[in-house]
C-alpha cells in the first residue's frame, strides 16, 4: 500500500481515540498509531503468523475472519474502524461496512482504483487482466474479489447512505488532485453514516 495512505490516516485519527483495525496484517501500522497517537487499539487478522507478530508487538489482535470477527464487539465500542486495503478482498463488503458502523462512529477505507490510466491501457492494449504496482499479482493469485473505481465507490456510498467526510488520492509520485479517477492508484476516505436505510 502507498505509504501516503498510512500518513493520511495517521493525520486523520485524533489522539487517544479508540480504533479497531480490520485486517491488521503484521500490526506495524496499529503499533504506530498506539505509539504516536496514544490510541486504544485492537485488531482482527485471519493469518495466524501475522497475529503472532502483532502479539509480539504487544498489540491486542484477535485471530479470525473479518466477516465473523465483529460480533464480539458491542455497538459504539470504537471511535474509528479501519479497513485499509481490505475492502476489495471482502465477499460481502456492504455487510462489513454495516457492521463497522455498528461498532464504530467513523470508518476509514482505502482501496485500489481500478480505473487508473495504466489499468485502462493494459486492458485496452493487451486485453488481459492488468498488473500494476498497486495490483501486483495475476488474477489467479490475487486476494481481490472486487475491482472498483473511485466513481464506483461514490455510487456505493450514495446508495448506502454514507457520506465521504474526507478523501485523499495517491499515485506512486504523491497526491493526486486533478482527475483522480483517471490518475490515482489508491484512495483513502473517511466515512460517516448519514442515511442508514440501506445499510
CATH of the domain at 70: 3.40.50.150
Does residue 199 lie in a domain region? no
Cβ 116 vs Cβ 182: under 8 Å: yes
CB 111 within 8 A of CB 153: yes
- Domain region containing 81: 6-193
Number of domains in the chain: 1
- 185 domain-assigned: yes
**24-64 pLDDT tens trace:** 999 999 999 999 999 999 999 999 999 999 999 999 999 99
DSSP classification of residue 74 = -
Mean of pLDDT values over 90-118 = 92
Least confident residue range of 9-23, 110-124, 130-144: 130-144
Look at residue 1 and tell me if it is in a domain: no
CA distance 106 to 90: 19
Whether residue 196 is predicted with pLDDT greater than 60 in this model: the reply is no
pTM of the model: 0.89
Dump pLDDT digits (tens) for 135-190: 677 766 766 667 889 999 999 999 999 999 999 999 989 999 999 999 999 999 99
**128 vs 107: CA distance, rounded Å:** 34
Q: Band of the pLDDT at 197, cuts 50, 70, 90?
A: very low
Residues in contact with 138: Cβ distance below 8 Å, sequence separation at least 6, in sequence order: 129, 131
User: How many other CB atoms are there within 10 angstroms of residue 145's CB atom?
Assistant: 12
| Residue 89 pLDDT level (bands cut at 50, 70, 90) | confident
User: Is 30 inside a domain boundary?
Assistant: yes
Contacts of residue 198, Cβ cutoff 8 Å, sequence gap at least 6: 159, 160, 161
Query: Is residue 198 included in any domain, yes or no?
Result: no
pLDDT at 183 (0 to 100) = 94
What pairs with residue 19 in β-bridges? 41, 80
- The length of the chain is 199
Q: Distance between CA 4 and CA 83 in Å, rounded?
A: 15
The predicted structure's pLDDT at residue 142: 66
Amino acid at each position: 500500500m502507498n505509504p501516503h495512505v498510512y500518513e493520511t490516516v495517521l493525520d486523520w485519527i485524533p489522539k487517544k481515540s479508540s480504533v479497531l483495525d480490520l485486517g491488521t496484517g503484521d500490526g506495524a501500522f496499529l503499533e504506530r498509531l498506539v505509539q504516536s497517537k496514544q490510541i486504544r487499539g485492537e485488531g482482527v487478522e485471519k493469518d495466524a503468523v501475522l497475529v503472532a507478530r502483532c502479539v509480539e508487538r504487544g498489540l491486542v489482535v484477535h485471530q479470525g475472519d473479518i466477516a465473523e470477527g465483529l460480533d464480539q464487539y458491542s455497538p459504539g465500542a470504537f471511535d474509528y474502524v479501519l479497513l485499509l486495503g481490505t475492502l476489495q478482498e471482502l465477499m460481502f463488503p456492504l455487510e462489513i461496512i454495516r457492521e463497522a458502523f455498528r461498532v464504530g462512529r467513523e470508518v476509514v477505507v482505502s482501496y485500489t482504483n481500478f480505473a487508473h490510466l495504466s489499468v485502462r491501457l493494459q486492458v485496452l492494449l493487451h486485453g488481459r487482466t492488468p498488473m500494476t504496482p498497486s495490483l501486483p499479482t495475476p488474477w489467479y493469485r490475487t486476494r481481490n474479489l472486487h475491482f472498483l473505481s473511485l466513481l464506483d465507490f461514490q455510487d456505493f456510498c450514495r446508495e448506502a447512505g454514507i457520506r465521504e467526510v474526507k478523501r485523499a488520492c495517491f499515485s506512486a509520485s504523491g497526491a493526486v488532485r486533478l482527475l483522480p479517477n483517471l490518475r490515482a492508484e489508491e484512495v483513502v476516505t473517511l466515512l460517516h453514516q448519514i442515511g442508514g436505510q440501506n445499510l
